[in-house]
């Protein structure tokens, strides 16, 4: 019977920040984990040796089917591709393979909140299209929609300016309230969604422990770094140009579209959730933002360290 099957987890995008963090948490808890990605090396370095790496392309139905063989639970995140037809094809391959394998639960990390109304931005609409395919798959599915990742700030784009110049620059209006979420807390929430009773077939907006404006977040950095830190709303076009040098123009435009939309002021509540509701629904203790800041090795970005 289904309940007698040994649990076997599949994590897509296992070489990326979000997928890799989910896979590490699952293996740390003693689970058998399979990881799907095109190549074994990614932004986090080699795949965790405790993860069985399965090379494959989400656009290849046979690759996806092979990855899902024997899998009972799947954590799905999609790559930074924003062509709706391509993304829908990925989602369809995942849905078909998961259904064929008899997957008991699939958690899809949309990687962004979604406005209630359709927008002109592929960053939202490609993810909405994938969500619709997966929710209609017949596989018990949980959808999680996170806001913005704190880990974006521990990066070559933000780290040096924070540490050396006392500037927190980000492409959001200063008064935009955001439930900044760390990758570690994301992984805790995804794993809870994979395992907790009563959450299947639901869409769960998730977020971090604190809902903060830009200046409020800068004040927490100032507290930890021991220096003044000011918030600078970065023009989205400037952000997109810098991102394009790393991700390519299409992916950068997809990501930047989310910030363009938020910048219109049409969705003031899009990036924040009620932390207590998130904790209650999924049974997870969210990490206070100041704790996350304290835990990062900010000296890595110090001019004195280079």
pLDDT band at 1; cut points 50, 70, 90: very low
pLDDT band at 37; cut points 50, 70, 90: very high
Longest dimension (CA), the chain: 61
| pLDDT above 70 coverage of the chain, percent | 97
C-alpha 204/C-alpha 281 separation (Å) is: 9
Instruction: Give the relative orientation of helices 249-263 and 122-135 as an angle to the nearest 10 degrees.
Output: 100
pLDDT, average across residues 181-193: 99
C-alpha 180/C-alpha 165 separation (Å) is: 22
What pLDDT is recorded for position 146? 98
Which of 22, 108, 8 lies closest to 52 in space, CA to CA? 8
- pLDDT higher than 80, residue 41: no
C-alpha 249/C-alpha 235 separation (Å) is: 17
Per-residue model confidence as pLDDT tens digits over 209-246: 999 999 999 999 999 999 999 999 999 999 999 999 98
Per-residue model confidence as pLDDT tens digits over 161-180: 999 999 999 999 999 999 99
Per-residue model confidence as pLDDT tens digits over 45-104: 677 889 999 999 999 999 999 999 999 999 999 999 999 999 999 999 999 999 999 999
What pLDDT is recorded for position 148? 97
Q: Where are the domains of the chain?
A: 9-301
pLDDT, average across residues 268-296: 98
Per-residue model confidence as pLDDT tens digits over 88-127: 999 999 999 999 999 999 999 999 999 999 999 999 999 9
Q: 166 by DSSP, 3-state: which?
A: coil
pTM of the model as a whole = 0.95
Lookup: tokens for 253: 């435009």
pLDDT band at 40; cut points 50, 70, 90: confident
Lookup: tokens for 123: 């960053």
DSSP sequence for 82-131: --HHHHHHHHHHHHHHHHHHT-SEEEEE-SS---SS--S-HHHHHHHHHH
pLDDT band at 304; cut points 50, 70, 90: low
Rg (alpha carbons) of the chain, rounded to whole number: 19
- pLDDT higher than 70, residue 305: no
Give CATH superfamily name and number for 9-301.
NAD(P)-binding Rossmann-like Domain (3.40.50.720)
């Amino acid at each position: 019977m289904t309940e007698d099957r040994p649990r076997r987890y599949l994590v897509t995008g296992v070489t990326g920040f979000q997928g890799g963090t989910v896979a590490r948490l699952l293996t740390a808890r003693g689970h058998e984990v399979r990881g799907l990605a095109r190549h074994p090396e990614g932004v986090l370095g080699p795949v965790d040796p405790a993860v069985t790496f399965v090379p494959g392309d989400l656009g290849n139905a046979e690759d996806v089917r092979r990855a899902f063989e024997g899998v009972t639970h799947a954590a799905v995140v999609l790559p930074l591709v924003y062509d709706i037809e391509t993304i829908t094809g990925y989602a369809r391959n995942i849905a078909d393979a998961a259904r064929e394998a008899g997957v008991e639960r699939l958690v899809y990390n949309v990687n962004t909140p979604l406005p209630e109304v359709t927008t002109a931005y592929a960053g939202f609409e490609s993810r909405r299209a994938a969500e619709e395919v997966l929710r209609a798959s017949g596989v018990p599915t949980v959808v999680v929609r996170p806001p913005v990742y704190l880990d974006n700030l521990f990066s070559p784009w933000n780290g040096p300016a924070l540490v050396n110049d006392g500037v927190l620059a980000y492409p959001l209006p200063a008064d935009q309230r955001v439930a900044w979420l760390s990758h570690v807390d994301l992984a805790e929430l995804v794993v809870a969604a994979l395992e907790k009773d009563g959450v299947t077939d639901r869409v769960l907006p998730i977020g971090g422990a604190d809902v903060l404006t830009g200046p409020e977040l800068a004040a927490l950095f100032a507290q930890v770094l021991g220096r003044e830190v000011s918030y600078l709303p970065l023009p989205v076009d400037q952000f997109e140009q810098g991102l394009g040098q790393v991700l390519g123009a299409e992916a950068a435009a997809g990501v930047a579209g989310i910030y363009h939309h938020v910048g219109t002021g049409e969705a003031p509540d899009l990036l924040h959730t009620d932390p207590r509701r998130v904790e209650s629904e999924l049974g997870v203790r969210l990490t206070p933002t100041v704790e996350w800041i304290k835990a990062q090795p900010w000296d890595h970005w110090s001019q004195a360290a280079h």
